Amino acid sequence: MVLLGNHTCEAINDAELDQEAFWNGRWDAHKVGWVIAGATAAVSTVISLFTVFMHARNYYRPKEQRQIMRILLMPPVYAVISFFSYRYFRSYTYYSLAEVVYESLVLAAFLMLLLQYIGDSTADQKKVLMEKEKRSIPFPFCCIRFRPSKPYFTHALKWSVLQYSLLRPLISLAGVITNALDLYCPTGYSVYFSAVYLDSLDFVSISVALYGLIVFYALVKDRLKGQSPLAKFLGIKGIVMITFYQGFIFGVLSDYGVIKATDYWTATNVADGLQALCTCCEMVGFSALFLWAFSWKSYKEMRPEGAPSTSVFWAVLDSFNYSDFLVEGWRGIVFTIRYILNKPGTHSKHFKNKTSPGLDLDVALGGSGEKGDSPDGSPRPMAQRTMTWGSQGGQAETQIPVAAFGRRSVDSGRGAGENRRSWEAGLAGYGYDDQPYASGTAVGGPTQQRDREERPMEQAYQMDRRESEEGAQREPQHPYARGAGGGGYGQAK
């Protein structure tokens, strides 16, 4: 119940009789619920531990499987904690605060698992993301566009999830302390109690984490085929959503008198007990789902013929080592500091594609373009190189020889006017308008059209010239920059 101005908190444990008076040998609803909760918690634990055991016996991809084993423990953790919160219902608040801490670790483990699916190392993962084009982020912020190739994207993505793994334990710890001091009030929101502030912070934090996962999944789902990523994500998200919404429903039913108090339990106790009992039962189904979604069979096929199984003890011990989360978090902090200090390799200006409107100069003059290199990867002679010019006025895309522009058409040693005249003369010889912006004619493909919308031709030319001069003085500053190892941008081989 939301009573923001209420100075008092509704009592939770004010039943007429204490819990001990209940145990008088009678077989009633509470004892039935206790047995059901214990039995279902035991079943889900057995299923999950079996799956963990099979992964530990076939531990051939440690970076992937340590994350999988962490995720597999989510159903039994929820089931066991819910059983104890049912049995010791007067301490339900403490158990519920502890339960969601593991949820934050599972979300981080799932992100790390997806990253491992697209690349074994951080370098491989960044290389995959460098290939992605600029796009809109998923609903509801579709109007915002982002470019995955930005240097900071990977770190921002990881921190969008890791921040929840850091904040959620602190939120739970604050909840435990304030609840012990009677300052928490889980039964209603009031500005005079901490629950409204802690839950608001938790809502923002988990929303950012889940949205980060959705953004990443939408970005790389084409590379996750065969890994059942959607089933894995829905399994994890299903536990979070079901426990949240059923708790909300039971709370509403309690507030409106549908759930009644008993001699031993308050209405809030009954609502909490129903929530715990339902969670124990539901975790059996989720354990079975995880058994299928996070199967060990593909890893078992990696075992060399005649080789013994891997050590279960060391595999389990490795999965409990969460230092990889700390390492990734530290890398993000270091990158942020370097980003603030404008260090090389942290801003997109160090990796900007140095092309002019309608001309693929990097492909034509660089050392790694499809049209600039021979089939064997060696640089082509200048006379054989071509530039791609997009369609204009219904004309098809054309390959224009570089020689049409002069051998040194982008040489920083020539004057700006001379370089530009060389470009215009070369284009005019192939029937293209030398002033496309003056005529208003659409030139080039979608990517080139966006470039023209962002900067006029004169600005593009001046920027290309300036950056070409800078490129001649330094090596590429990012291992995945186009042209790396080939002399940098705009340098003909």
In 3D, which of 346, 319, 348 has the Cα closest to residue 112? 319
- Stretch 323-349: mean pLDDT: 84
Assign 145 a pLDDT band (cuts: 50, 70, 90).
confident
Least reliable range by pLDDT among 53-62, 304-313, 339-348, 472-481 = 472-481
Percentage with pLDDT > 90 across the chain: 28
Strand, coil or helix: what is 345?
A: coil
How many degrees, rounded to 5, is the angle at CA 210 between CA 216 and CA 55?
A: 75
Residue bearing the bigger pLDDT, 351 or 52: 52
In 3D, which of 131, 103, 126, 130 has the Cα closest to residue 115? 126
Query: Which contiguous run of DSSP H or E holds residue 449?
Result: helix 446-454
Displacement of CA 185 from its chain's centroid (Å):
33
Q: 441: how many CB neighbours lie within 10 A of its CB?
A: 12
Q: State the DSSP code for 145.
A: E
pLDDT value of residue 485: 40
Collect all residues with Cβ–Cβ distance below 8 Å to 247 and sequence separation of at least 6: 275
pLDDT value of residue 394: 44
Whether the model pTM is above 0.75: no
Assign 350 a pLDDT band (cuts: 50, 70, 90).
very low
Q: Given a cut of 50, is residue 488 above it in pLDDT?
A: no
Q: What domains appear along the chain, each with residue ranges and CATH number?
A: 19-323 (1.20.1070), 353-473 (no CATH)
Q: pLDDT tens for residues 79-118? A: 999 999 998 888 888 999 999 999 999 999 999 999 899 8
Q: Are 151 and 477 in contact (CB under 8 A)?
A: no
DSSP state letters, 90-137: GGHHHHHHHHHHHHHHHHHHHHHHHHHHH-SSHHHHHHHHHTPPPEEP
